Amino acid sequence: MSDRSGFPVAPDHPVQVLAGAVQLEGALGVPQGAPGIVLFAHGSGSSRHSRRNRFVAEVLRVAGLGTLLFDLLTGDEEQIDLQTRSLRFDIPLLAERLVGATDWVLGQPETRALAVGYFGASTGAAAALIAATERPSVVRAVVSRGGRPDLAREALDRVRAPTLLVIGELDHEVIALNRQALTRLGAETKRMEIVPGATHLFEEPGALEEAADLARDWFLAYLHDAGPQPT
């Protein structure tokens, strides 16, 4: 991990996130003086305990950004999904939960004035892009890691937040899907970065670190000095 900013590092702590009619388990960390907060939309069958997302979140907090990792499904829903594997692909539901978590963040004294960004992995990337179109005046940046932005379908044209797509060099099928999605993205600022030697899960030495640094730089560029958010 490179280019550390010198901000005090804030550990995260458990929170209950009220997203619409459901309560979700989360972990919130906000460094002193943070200009923004990044909400994580994890991928297929993952949770707030995702080792990869927690690594990225720590990189962001070291750089002075706030983070919220939370479960997109309730405990009961996770049990259903373990049997059916259906809810993890219910992109509209996942996007709805992310929008609810965003509204929760904007209602908390600690985070209500922070610029909001989304970090989506796998199917969570599609949920993040759809949610960004639901709160266009609030969401200032989106990063997808090994994501499936193509699953956002018609919402791609309506995305306005600066969007970065990060894909592994050896993730050939997902590269093709991301290239197609990039052409459809309505954001004025959009980019695709390919991490050399990386596969879909970025398990190769240094791959996840590079993806995390790309995400950090994107969020610092677009969440800094964004001003108070509408509530």
HEC states along the chain? Answer: CCCCCCCCCCCCEEEEEEECCEEEEEEEECCCCCCEEEEEECCCCCCCCCHHHHHHHHHHHHCCCEEEEECCCCHHHHHHHHHHCCHHHCHHHHHHHHHHHHHHHHCCCCCCCCEEEEEEECHHHHHHHHHHHHCCCCEEEEEEECCCHHHHHHHHHHCCCCEEEEEECCCHHHHHHHHHHHHHCCCCCEEEEEECCCCCCCCCCCHHHHHHHHHHHHHHHHHCCCCCCCC
Q: What confidence tier does 142 reach under pLDDT thresholds 50, 70, 90? A: very high
The whole-number pLDDT of residue 101 equals: 97
Question: How much is the average pLDDT of 189-217?
Answer: 97
State the CB neighbour count (10 A cutoff) for residue 51. 8
Q: What is the pLDDT of residue 210?
A: 98
Q: Does residue 229 lie within any of the structural domains? A: no
Assign 230 a pLDDT band (cuts: 50, 70, 90).
Answer: very low
80 found inside a domain: yes
Give me the amino acid identity at 146: G
In a domain, 75, yes or no: yes
Give a yes or no: residue 1 inside a domain. no
The span from the first CA to the last CA of the chain, in angstroms, equals 34
pLDDT of residue 50: 81
Report the pLDDT averaged over residues 60-86: 91
User: Which of the four pLDDT bands, split at 50, 70 and 90, describes residue 11?
Assistant: confident
CATH of the domain at 79: 3.40.50.1820
More confident residue, 19 or 225: 19
* Domain presence at residue 91: yes
What pLDDT score was predicted for residue 125? 96
Question: Is residue 96, in this structure, part of any structural domain at all?
Answer: yes
Give the residue numbers spanning the domain of 186. Answer: 13-223
Specify the higher pLDDT residue, 5 or 82. Answer: 82
Q: What is the pLDDT of residue 46?
A: 66
Say what the pLDDT of residue 2 is.
37
Range 173-196 average pLDDT: 98
Q: How far apart are the C-alpha atoms of 1 and 10, rounded to whole Å?
A: 16
Domain count, the chain: 1
Write the CA distances from 133 to 14, 31, 87, 185, integer angstroms.
28, 27, 21, 11
pLDDT score of 224: 77
Q: Is the pLDDT of residue 149 over 60?
A: yes
Rg (CA), the chain: 16
Q: Mean of the pLDDT values across residues 127-133? A: 98
Mean pLDDT, residues 106-125: 96
Does a structural domain hold residue 192?
A: yes
Chain-centre distance for alpha carbon 207 = 18
Does residue 86 fall inside a structural domain?
yes
5: confidence class by pLDDT, cuts 50, 70, 90? very low
